[in-house]
A and B are shown apart, each in its own frame.
Chain A
Amino acid sequence: AQSVTQLGSHVSVSEGALVLLRCNYSSSVPPYLFWYVQYPNQGLQLLLKYTTGATLVKGINGFEAEFKKSETSFHLTKPSAHMSDAAEYFCAVSDSGNFNKFYFGSGTKLNVKP
Chain B
Amino acid sequence: EPEVTQTPSHQVTQMGQEVILRCVPISNHLYFYWYRQILGQKVEFLVSFYNNEISEKSEIFDDQFSVERPDGSNFTLKIRSTKLEDSAMYFCASRRGGSNTEAFFGQGTRLTVV
Contacts and interface: CB of A to CB of B under 8 A. Distances in A.
**Interface majority SS (helix, strand, loop, mixed), chain A:** strand
A54 B43 CA distance: 28
In this complex, the interface size class of chain A, counting residues with CB under 8 Å from chain B, is 20 to 34
Given A41-B107, A94-B101, A106 B45 contact: no
Residue among A45, A101, A107 with max Cβ neighbours from chain B (10 Å)? A101
A102 B91 contact: no
A63 interface: no
Contacts of B56: 100-101
B102 A101 contact: no
Contacts of B95: 99
A43 B107 contact: yes
A51 to B, nearest CB: 6
A51 B103 CA distance: 14
Contacts of B9: 41
Given A41-B107, A100-B31, A46 B45 contact: no
B48 interface: yes
A62 to B, nearest CB: 19
Interface string A85-100: 0000010101000011
Question: For the complex, would chain B's binding face be called helix, strand, loop or mixed by DSSP majority?
Answer: strand
Contacts of B33: 100
A46 B100 CA distance: 13
A36 B101 contact: no
A101 B104 CA distance: 13
A45 B9 CA distance: 17
B91 A44 contact: yes
Contacts of B101: 32, 49, 51, 94, 99
Interface of A: 32, 36, 41-46, 49, 51, 90, 92, 94, 99-107
